[in-house]
Structure formats: C-alpha cells, structure tokens
C-alpha cells in the first residue's frame, strides 16, 4: 500500500515538474528569438555565443550576459531553456540575454586556462584575457544586435562569477552593472582548491573528474567522467587512497587531467597561483558592482567577501555593494531558500534577494528604472534570523574582543593565568578527525552548521568553552585565531572552529558550528615561503577566519575547538615538512600538539563584537 501511494506521489511530482518546465520553456520561446553565433576575438579565436532577444522589437533593451565554462546550452536554435537570466523576475522584465562558452570550453575555440591571468598593458592582439574577451564580445553585440540600448550587465555564480569579476579591470565602457556571485577569486588562499595552503581534497577530486576531461576541439558534450570511483564512504575511500600522488594511478586520473596536475604541482603560493589572483587588478572600477555570497557556502565564501574588500580598498570611489545571506553555494538563485541544517530562517530568503535586491540593481543601472540601491552592505544575521543594513562592512561600530583559551577547557575575556600552561592532544594522520559525523560519498552540504558534538568527544580535539551568556552577543565581521603552539614534528594543520552551544531538550546541548577555517602550519609566516616548525619550540600561528554575522543569544555558550585534521575535506598532512603530494606511508607520523595559554604565551580568538 505504501509503495503504491509513493509511486502516485512521484508520478504527480514529475508530471507537475514537466508541466512547469514546459510552461517556462513556452514563455521563453513565445517572447524571445534565439540566435547562435561565433564571435571572433582579437587574436582570431571564435567564441560560441547564444543570444535571446525579446520579440517586441519596438523597445531598446540592455544586454545581460553570462560567460561560462559550464556550457551556454541548450544548443540548437530551436531548443529553448526553461528560464533566462539570474532570476525569473529579470526574465519577465526582459533583457537581451547572452550566454557564451569561454575559450577552450564546450563549443568555443581556443585553449582553456584555469582562472585566466589578467594582463595589464597588453602589447599586442595576441595577449588576451577574460577582460579582453568580454570587451570584444560586447563590441560585436553592440554593432550586430538590433534594438539594444547600449548598456551591458554581467552576472555569474561560482566560476561564471570569476568571469564577471574578470570583466571589471579595463572594463568596456558599455558595462554598467556587474554582479560577481560566489566568485572564484584566489584558489590558494581561500577558494575551492586550497584554504591557506591546505588542499581541499574531497571537492577537487570529484570536481576535476568531470571538469578536467580533455577535448580535441569544440564539443557539445564532454561525455563520461575520466574515471568511475563511486563510494558511499568518502572517509574510508580517501584513507585507502593514501597520498595525493596515488590519484594518478591508472584507475583514477592517470595523468589525463591537466588542471589537477597543475594544482598538485604548485603546492605553495608561487607565481602560478599569484597570477590567478584577480583581486590585485580590481583598481579604478567604473561599473556598479553587486557582490553576493552565502554564509554557508562551502566553496567560495572567501571569494565573495574578499572581492568586495578588494574593490573597496582599490576603488574607493566606486559603486560597490555586498549582500551576504544564509545560503549555500548559489542558494540565492533557488526559488525558495528558507532552511539549512535544521535551522528555520522563517522566510524565503532567496525570493527576498531576487525581488528586493538583484532585480532592482540591474533595472536601475541598465534601464533607469526604480531608485538607486540603498545600503552598502545587506547581510543576514544568523541566530536572530533577520536582515541588517550597514553603511560599510564590517560595520563601523564593531570592537575587537579577545577571548582567551584557558586551562581546564575554559574560554573567557579575562586573560590567562601563568599556572595553566598548555592543552595537549595527539594528532594521528592514520586516524584523522572527520569534518562531519555523516558518512557519504560526497561532501555533506550541511557541515558548515553541523552539531560538533562528534568532534568534541574525541581526544585529538582541544575544546574550550565559555559560561552561559548573560546577554546577547552580536559578532559581525572577520574572526582572528591567535595561537601559540608547539609540535613534536615539523609541520601540522590547525583547524579552528567557533561554535554556538545551544541549550537543547532534555539537557542535551547542540554545538552548532558558526565558522571554521584551516591553515597549513608551514605557511604560518609566508604563503610563498613555507617554513618548518622546530620540534618543541613555541611558535605563533595567527590567521583570519571568514566573516560571520551571528547573534549568540543569552543563555547560549561560546565554544572553540582546535584540531589538526579535517578529513577528507582537507587532505592529510603527514606532519613532516615536505612536498606533501609525494608523501609515502612511512612519512605520516603522529605528533603531539600543545596549545599554550599562560602569561607569556597566550592563545586566543578575536571576535568583532557590536556593543
């Protein structure tokens, strides 16, 4: 009986979904004409471009463009997608929507380059980058697409977010509004590939398996993945895989993946990575910019925050706004985002953003419709579940408050006592601390707000907890971990987690993760010049964690957890100063780690508190 009911529900769901998809496709086809063209760049390479133009030719419309490595399809002039643009409101507002395969991807010619480096002061037409490709595309569109109003907007999420950002330096004068959303920005310091030098193994292994497949020329479909390695337990799989170099065994990448080999080869912040840091080029930005990110984005939280900061610092006169919501990667583009990891936000946060922020932004700058955007920063405050508007980010009223790690697992603002010494744990790479309590073959999408009780129960996690708060505590901005440590080896990772301990039912607390970040210890002084630890010597490990906007409620407690593995989200550190991808099993050693909290060597976490 249950099986019959479930089947009927499934049939109804697919019939409804199919109808909705058909209905949306009908709207696009009835209201837009589709054209597919190759646009020639200044060096002769042609980029495949799809144009959807409103059929009411009596109106001049602006362009709204996305440049992507993920396919500009569906391909075929009689094949229409179910929606156009960043959201349905903008689709119904009507723009000339443009999608383009970037060079070297899908149906475009040329060679693909990971995070194409920007070239300043180009000497010839042979020197191209994403800014010049956007420029050449726009020049063609303005001259060849009728009934345009001469204005261009660009948006994109994740990798397309990078291409949106990359259009800003030396921007074409027709570009009036750009929205980098969760933009890939600096893949060594905080986005996608590495966080402060620590390699994000799980995500990259899975992503590069399909993205890094070779092609012999323009294609509509890359076909199957490079290899088939399905598993329902990523922890066990990667533990058995061993060192990262084993990923090139015949049954895995087998040296077929160009980008995978590049990111493995460049294990320090060398010229290769630095050339791919778009932040340094965000100077004298003219278009209006709307940077969007999510507090629970496991991929490009760093990119959103740091793109905004780079523009603020280097283009202080520009029109630059930041929106940070309670979203996972790209969650703001969904039709309804009201819950995450068991947290009910009591509202449809994505619809609010689309209707109240994104659509008015493009309408104003591209159509002269509506009023100028308001607040410099619009952020969703977790804990209180409300939107806050600020004139700057972080807010001008924040005050840094230092919370000291104390002996006996305590956490407070009064400072250390000399007798307390240190807290010690043993980090064993053969038994690494898991990043989540759940077992799955893919990343647990809810790990960024997961209950951390599973970790606090382990002996290789140092736990420091405060007393119940006597009043609400509002923290808004970046966090800083300021540790004094010693290790018995020559390298180690340090993962610092800030946790909101919520009183639970029947006396069972929930240790809700608010923010966590990792640093590979050898980069504690310089990301370009790693240095070994001297066994037993006390050293400073100080680094910034991505921002939060969180209200710790009265009666809750603050907790800090420190550990030296976060597996398999992050690859295992052998805890030996070396080129880690080539580490042999014999190189992986257990080490004792001490976190100091005495008068001379006091460890702490600094929180930006709004009083």
Same domain, 60 and 73: yes
Is the Cβ–Cβ distance between 287 and 171 less than 8 Å? yes
Residue 8, pLDDT above cutoff 70: no
List, in sequence order, every residue forming a beta bridge with 265; answer none if it has no partner.
none
Same domain, 262 and 283: no
Same domain, 374 and 429: no
Same domain, 364 and 264: no
Same domain, 578 and 448: yes
User: pLDDT at position 16, please?
Assistant: 38
**81 lies in which domain range?**
2-186+276-390
Q: Tokens 């409103």 — which residue?
A: 54
Residue 567 belongs to domain with CATH number? 2.60.120.260
User: pLDDT at position 25, please?
Assistant: 79
Confidence of residue 230 (pLDDT cuts 50, 70, 90): confident
Same domain, 384 and 417: no
Is the Cβ–Cβ distance between 18 and 34 less than 8 Å? no
Q: Give the total residue count for the chain.
A: 611
Q: 423 preceded by cis ω (within 30°)?
A: no
Domain end: 370, 390, 410, which one?
Answer: 390
pLDDT digits (tens, 9 = 90+) for 298-352: 999 999 999 999 999 999 999 999 999 999 999 999 999 999 999 999 999 999 9
Please report the DSSP string for 128-155 in residue order: --HHHHHHHHHHHHHHHSSSEEEEEEEE
Token code pair at residue 180: 């980098």
What's the average model confidence in pLDDT over 247-256? 96
Same domain, 426 and 335: no
Give the mean pLDDT of the chain: 94
Cα 62 from Cα 521, distance rounded (Å) = 49
State what percent of residues in the chain have pLDDT above 70: 96
Domain end: 273, 306, 340, which one?
Answer: 273
Same domain, 362 and 265: no
User: pLDDT at position 92, please?
Assistant: 95
Residue 41 belongs to domain with CATH number? 3.40.50.1820
Same domain, 445 and 594: yes
Secondary structure letter of residue 578 according to DSSP: S
Same domain, 201 and 173: no
Q: How far is CA 177 from the centre of its chain?
A: 22
Q: Tokens 């929930």 — which residue?
A: 510
Same domain, 199 and 180: no
Q: Which residues of 25-36 are buried (b: 16+ CB within 10 A; e: fewer)?
A: bebbbebbebeb
Cα dihedral 3, 7, 9, 15, rounded to 10, equals 180
pLDDT digits (tens, 9 = 90+) for 96-130: 999 999 999 999 999 999 999 999 999 999 999 99
Burial of 354 (0-12, 13-18, 19+ CB in 10 A): buried
What pTM, to 2 d.p., does this model score? Answer: 0.95
- With H, G, I as helix, E, B as strand and everything else as coil, classify residue 98: strand
Q: What is the number of domains present in the chain?
A: 3
Q: Tokens 């390479």 — which residue?
A: 45
Positive or negative torsion for Cα 277, 283, 289, 294: positive
Please report the DSSP string for 79-92 in residue order: ---S--SSSHHHHH
Token code pair at residue 53: 């133009």
Domain end: 240, 273, 306, which one?
Answer: 273
Is the Cβ–Cβ distance between 607 and 401 less than 8 Å? yes
Same domain, 354 and 442: no
Is the Cβ–Cβ distance between 97 and 84 less than 8 Å? yes
pLDDT digits (tens, 9 = 90+) for 143-175: 999 999 999 999 999 999 999 999 999 999 999
Q: 408 preceded by cis ω (within 30°)?
A: no
The C-alpha R_g of the chain, in whole angstroms, comes to 25
């Amino acid at each position: 009986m249950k099986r019959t009911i479930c089947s009927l529900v499934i049939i109804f769901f697919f019939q409804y979904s199919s109808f909705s998809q058909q209905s949306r496709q009908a709207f696009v086809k009835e209201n837009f004409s589709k054209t597919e063209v190759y646009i020639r760049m200044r060096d002769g390479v042609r980029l495949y471009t799809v144009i959807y133009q409103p059929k009411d030719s009596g109106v001049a419309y602006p362009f709204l463009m996305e440049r992507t490595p993920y396919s500009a399809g569906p391909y075929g002039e009689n094949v229409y997608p179910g929606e156009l643009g960043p959201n349905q409101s903008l689709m119904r507002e009507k723009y000339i929507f443009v999608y383009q395969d970037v060079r070297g991807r899908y149906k475009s010619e040329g060679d693909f380059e990971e995070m194409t480096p920007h070239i300043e002061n180009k000497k010839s037409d042979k020197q191209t980058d994403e800014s010049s490709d956007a420029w050449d595309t726009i020049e063609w569109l303005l001259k060849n697409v009728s009934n345009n109003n001469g204005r261009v907007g660009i948006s994109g999420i994740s990798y397309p977010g990078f291409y949106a950002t990359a259009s800003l330096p030396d921007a074409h004068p027709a570009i009036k509004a750009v929205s980098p959303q969760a933009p890939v920005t600096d893949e060594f310091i905080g986005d996608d590939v590495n966080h402060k030098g620590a390699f994000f193994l799980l995500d990259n292994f899975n992503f590069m398996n399909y993205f890094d497949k070779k092609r012999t020329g323009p294609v509509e479909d890359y076909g199957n993945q490079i290899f088939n390695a399905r598993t329902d337990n990523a922890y066990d799989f990667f533990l058995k895989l061993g060192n990262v170099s084993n990923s090139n065994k015949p049954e895995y990448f087998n040296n077929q993946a160009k980008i995978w080999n590049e990111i493995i080869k460049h294990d320090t912040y060398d010229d290769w990575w630095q050339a791919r840091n778009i932040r340094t080029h965000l100077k004298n930005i003219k278009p209006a910019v709307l940077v969007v990110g999510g507090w629970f984005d496991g991929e490009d939280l760093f990119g959103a925050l740091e793109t905004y900061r780079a523009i603020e610092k280097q283009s202080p006169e520009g029109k630059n706004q930041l929106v940070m919501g309670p979203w996972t990667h790209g969650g703001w583009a969904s039709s309804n985002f009201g819950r995450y990891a068991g947290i009910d936000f009591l509202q449809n946060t994505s619809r609010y953003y689309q209707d109240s922020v994104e659509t008015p932004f493009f309408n104003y700058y591209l159509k002269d419709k509506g009023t100028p955007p308001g607040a410099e920063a619009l952020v969703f405050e977790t804990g209180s579940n409300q939107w806050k508007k600020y004139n700057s980010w972080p807010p001008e009223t924040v005050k840094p408050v230092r919370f000291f790690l104390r002996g006996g697992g305590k956490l407070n603002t009064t400072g250390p006592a000399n007798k307390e010494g240190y807290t010690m744990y043993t980090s064993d790479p053969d038994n690494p601390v898991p990043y989540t309590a759940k077992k799955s073959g893919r990343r647990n999408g809810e790990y960024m707000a997961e209950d951390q009780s599973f970790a606090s129960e382990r002996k290789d996690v140092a736990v420091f907890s405060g007393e119940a708060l006597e009043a609400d505590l509002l923290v808004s901005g970046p966090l800083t971990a300021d540790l004094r440590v010693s290790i018995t080896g020559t390298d180690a990772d340090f993962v610092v987690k800030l946790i909101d301990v919520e009183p639970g039912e029947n006396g069972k607390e929930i240790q809700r993760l608010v923010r966590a970040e990792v640093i590979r210890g050898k980069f504690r002084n310089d990301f370009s010049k790693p240095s070994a630890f001297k066994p037993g010597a006390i050293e400073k490990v100080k680094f910034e964690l991505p921002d939060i906007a969180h209200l710790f409620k009265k009666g809750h407690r603050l907790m800090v957890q420190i550990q030296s593995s976060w597996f398999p989200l992050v690859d295992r550190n052998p805890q030996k100063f070396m080129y880690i991808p080539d580490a042999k099993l014999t190189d992986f050693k257990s080490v004792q780690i001490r976190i100091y909290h005495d008068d001379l060597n006091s460890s702490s976490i600094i929180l930006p508190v709004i009083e």
